[in-house]
Amino acid sequence: MASRDSAVKRAGDYFASEGFVRDLSNLVSYRTESQEDGRDKDLRAYLADAMEPALQALGFQCETFENPDPSGGPFLLGVRHEGNTLPTILIYGHGDVIRGQDGLWDDGLSPFTLTARGERYYGRGTADNKGQHWINLSALRCVLEERGSLGFNCKVIIETGEEIGSPGLAALFSRHPDAFAADALIASDGPRLSAKRPTLFTGSRGAINFDLTVNYRDGAHHSGNFGGLLKDPGIVLSHAIASIADARGRIQVPEWRPDSLTPAVRALLAECDPGESASDPAIDADWGEADQSPAERVFGWNSFAVLAFKTGLPESPVNAIQGHAKAHCQLRYVVGTDPEDIIPALRRHLDRNGFGDVTVTPQDRGFFKATRLDPDNPWFRWAAESLERTTGARPAMLPNLGGSLPNDTFSEILGLPTIWVPHSYPGCSQHAPNEHLLAPVAEEGLRIMAGLFWDLGERSRRG
């Protein structure tokens, strides 16, 4: 008789048989670098030659959508319809990866060749995101093999431009709302709280990047002859930045301080410690809001960062007062921050503090907006119970990821509750050389998702 335990066991057996490693190796071999020009053929091949046959084998009808935005790659939609009265789940993944960074990986490793070393599977996309969406598709297969049906309708979208900001995804959903209509999103991306702790989150922080510049004059002038006479743009810009965040990084722009760190959110985060992984850098206790826990600072609050700062020639300084200084900055923000007012609020703040000479220029390419579900949302609680049933331990329940995802396209345009079950961990080097997926996390992820999809079918049957 078909059972949940047998479906979960099938998922574990698939991993133990080396089937998962074989299949992931094939996916990694596609050089789907969306940040590089000339990769359109590779992106299309990933959808047509890897994803479409895999979905068709699971009974999905597939359709490729061209991107409404010429800067982005195509989308693949797979649909498996089992009944008009059944709920529909949308599953998301992205087949594109960041630049391979060939030559920067450790000896014997290559970004587009899967290499197993101990518990690590190295290769670009293993963690972000090929390994993660393949775990979910494989779990669907295990449920189908065990029960003969999913017990729910399922749609799968694979995009090819997440690493360049998902251009065209919002427009695609706006133009074809019926094609992507569903009752909820269940997807996987980003890291767990730690390698050893299964994790759920319901959204992500938003992000906006911008340049701060001070431009007083063309060229530089001798610091002996003009020091004390000419405004130093580096000093002015340093003080402007210091007005945005104080000496321990606490944000000073009033509109950048959110109102959404509620008691319910704090209760969730009280059970989460972002410093659990030994491989993570040590958390600085004297950084950020003094009355917040580390989890509250990264999952429940906004953070301002100076990503780059330049005046003069740092690699070859000269004795001169420079005419120009520039900093590239970022605000990661949570729900409760008005994204349309982030840059105007900064402009008002700088003007109030006497920094009218500082120009604020938003980056042309926008990042994703902040999203999250209510902590008491039934989908969130149901998913947590399913994970606990499979693993025997309460998962970490985060209101949102610390990073950013295109979750707003699902939650705002399609109007879906969104549940994310990550299958990676913070030390995976996902945007760096030596990206890898941990074998224990992948194996547990397969079992978790088989259990989750099984439970979804049972939930649908009970109504």
pLDDT in tens, 248-257: 999 999 999 9
Please check the confidence at residue 242 and state whether its pLDDT lies above 90.
yes
Cα torsion angle, 450, 448, 97, 73, sign: positive
* Mean pLDDT score, 218-244: 97
Question: Bridge partners of 194?
Answer: 197
Calculated CA dihedral for residues 285, 288, 289, 292, nearest 10 degrees: -50
CA gap 130, 285 in Å, rounded: 35
The answer to whether 131 and 442 have CB atoms below 8 angstroms apart is yes
The answer to whether 126 and 24 have CB atoms below 8 angstroms apart is yes
Structure tokens at 146: 């065990």
The answer to whether 44 and 73 have CB atoms below 8 angstroms apart is yes
CATH number of 4-204+369-462: 3.40.630.10
Alpha helices in 69-163 (DSSP H): 130-147
The model's pLDDT over 329-364, given as tens digits with 9 standing for 90+, comes to: 999 999 999 999 999 999 999 999 999 999 999 997
Query: Residues spanned by CATH 3.30.70.360 within the chain?
Result: 206-266+289-362
The model's pLDDT over 27-54, given as tens digits with 9 standing for 90+, comes to: 999 999 999 999 999 999 999 999 999 9
Alpha helices in 125-259 (DSSP H): 130-147, 169-175, 223-226, 233-244
Measuring CA to CA, how many Å separate 275 from each of 94, 144, 147, 300, 445?
Answer: 28, 38, 40, 16, 21
Please check the confidence at residue 366 and state whether its pLDDT lies above 80.
no
Q: What is the pLDDT of residue 463?
A: 64
Please check the confidence at residue 172 and state whether its pLDDT lies above 80.
yes
CA gap 172, 179 in Å, rounded: 10
| Predicted model pTM | 0.93
How high is the mean pLDDT of the chain?
Answer: 96
* Mean pLDDT score, 276-297: 87
Query: Residues spanned by CATH 3.40.630.10 within the chain?
Result: 4-204+369-462
The model's pLDDT over 300-337, given as tens digits with 9 standing for 90+, comes to: 999 999 999 999 999 999 999 999 999 999 999 999 99
End-to-end CA gap in the chain: 22
The answer to whether 124 and 98 have CB atoms below 8 angstroms apart is yes
Q: What is the pLDDT of residue 62?
A: 98
Please check the confidence at residue 448 and state whether its pLDDT lies above 90.
yes
Question: Bridge partners of 78?
Answer: 62, 156
The percentage of the chain sitting over the pLDDT mark of 90, rounded to a whole number, equals: 94
The model's pLDDT over 177-195, given as tens digits with 9 standing for 90+, comes to: 999 999 999 999 999 999 9
Q: What is the pLDDT of residue 276?
A: 63
SS3 359: strand
The answer to whether 302 and 173 have CB atoms below 8 angstroms apart is no
155 membership: H or E segment, kind and range = strand 153-159
Confidence of residue 204 (pLDDT cuts 50, 70, 90): very high
CATH 3.30.70.360 fits 206-266+289-362, yes or no: yes
CA gap 346, 199 in Å, rounded: 34
